[in-house]
Amino acid sequence: MKNLFVLLAVLALLLVVVAVMTGANKKRGGKGEKPKQKALMTDREQAMYNRLVQALPELVVLAQVSFSALLTARSYAARNTFDRKVADFVVCDKAFRVLAVVELDDSSHRGREKEDGARDVLLVNAGYRVLRYPRVPDIDRVRDDFESPAVPTMPAELMDMRAER
């Protein structure tokens, strides 16, 4: 009987160790998990990219640009506010001077206006122009937005939408 109790105790301890190790692997991102491919852009992002390229053939359009490529800071705390963020598109001149950061808002942005605003503040305070579109704009709209003075702003359509809320 004593041997059975010891055997059950050892078995229970072994189960606890396995459970803890499995949980630890999940928390660390699953050491054994193999990364998988994913689409570079959604269908809407592809449409927006193509619209920007069509409307602005003389400019360079970059997609999925890390904020760390756009911003820098000395302190870790300041870098931590932007180091994992990504801009949908960055439009540059041929010398790769940034003319605007373009964000395509969709239904996934509903309820995230505060976070989007904080992202805009980071970029505008660094001197970037931010253009946000709730949907893929027509070619004339894009051309008009890039012909207007390069003042850090967002399209009036989106500002009106935010004011309505």
**Span 46-57, pLDDT tens digits:** 999 999 999 999
> Is 48 found in the same domain as 23?
no
> Is 23 found in the same domain as 62?
no
> Is 49 found in the same domain as 28?
no
In the predicted model, is pLDDT for residue 165 greater than 50?
no
* 48, 133 contact by CB (below 8 A): yes
Name the pTM for this structure: 0.70
3-state secondary structure 69-81: HHCCCCCHHHHCC
| Residue 86 β-bridge partners | 66
| Residue 92 β-bridge partners | 60, 98
> Is 73 found in the same domain as 29?
no
In the predicted model, is pLDDT for residue 161 greater than 90?
no
pLDDT at 142: 97
The amino acid at residue 1 is: M
> Is 99 found in the same domain as 23?
no
> Is 69 found in the same domain as 19?
no
d(CA 49, CA 53): 6
Domain extent, residue 30, equals 1-35
- For the ranges 7-11, 70-74, 85-89, which has the lowest average pLDDT? 7-11
3-state secondary structure at position 14:
helix
Cα maximum dimension of the chain: 87
Q: For 102-122, what is each residue's pLDDT tens digit? A: 999 876 666 678 888 889 999
pLDDT at 7: 58
Tally of domains in the chain: 2
82 compared with 97, residue with greater pLDDT: 97
